[in-house]
Amino acid sequence: MAASATSSPSKAEAVRTMFTHIARRYDLMNSLMTGGRHHAWRRKAAESAAGAPGGPVLDLATGTADLAIAVRARTPGRFVAGADFSEGMLRVGRAKLRERRVARLQLLVADAQALPFRDGAFACVMSAFLLRNLDGLERGLAEMRRVTIPGGRVITLDIVRPAQPLWGAVFGAYFNHVVPAIGALVAGNRQAYTYLPQSVDRFVTPDELAELMEKVGLRDITYQRLGLGTIALHVGIA
């Protein structure tokens, strides 16, 4: 997938508006769609972040802050920042932090394609379920690498098409038909949960993502599939 010099304002704006609309039902939808498994995937990513050199961690496209909270829980000594361009999602995240009295975790507004951080500001930069939403995937990955210290970790978690064709067909049927129906019923937004399977269909394979990570200057890239092969957790060294 080609990089673009800047993100397309129309796509970025449509994505931001969509997440702002579903923000209050986002967590519930995740739990319903995944049978609660999404927390385990984030814990796995947080486990990988614990292996990064000492220093702050950025959870990019933090949304309602679940990954940032998982990182704080796994590594209580680290400062964690969560950035997202949807104020609506961050508002839900902030309420969660207050309710759970989470400290040393700051949420802020930022665009993943033009991060307001200096080079090497973080020991680890992570994202969960962001990459499919970017029109400039390569640019987004390059920004993640840029703000990571040399030797630090870039970690991404995203939904991918299963490698096994038969299971892929079952997953496709669930994702294309059942998920939009749940989205209409629970989040009152069929469109957002129709966009979700479409974005997975259009997304790169785990091997292609690893190649792009290498292209932007990351090394020693590894990935593993989770969630019956539907989730890819990539780790690269900056």
Residues that bind ligand SAM (CB under 6 A): 7, 12, 15-16, 19, 61-63, 66-67, 84-86, 89, 111-113, 128-130, 133-134
Cβ atoms 232, 206 nearer than 8 A: yes
**Shortest CB 83 distance to ligand SAM, Å:** 7
**Shortest CB 108 distance to ligand SAM, Å:** 11
Nearest to ligand SAM of 30, 75 (CB atom)? 30
Nearest to ligand SAM of 106, 164 (CB atom)? 106
Which residue's Cβ lies closest to ligand SAM?
63
Measured CA to CA, the distance from residue 74 to residue 102 in angstroms comes to 13
How far the first Cα of the chain sits from its last, in Å, is 21
Measured CA to CA, the distance from residue 15 to residue 136 in angstroms comes to 13
**Shortest CB 179 distance to ligand SAM, Å:** 13
Residues 103-138 as b or e (16 or more Cβ within 10 Å = b): eebebeebbbbebebeebbbbbbbbbbbbbbbbbbb
Nearest to ligand SAM of 113, 148 (CB atom)? 113
Nearest to ligand SAM of 61, 149 (CB atom)? 61
**Shortest CB 165 distance to ligand SAM, Å:** 26
Under 8 Å CB-to-CB from 111, ≥6 apart: which residues? 7, 12, 85
Angle between helices 38-49 and 66-74 (to 10 degrees): 50
Nearest CA to 98 among 87, 90, 109, 86? 90
**Shortest CB 33 distance to ligand SAM, Å:** 11
Nearest to ligand SAM of 121, 128 (CB atom)? 128
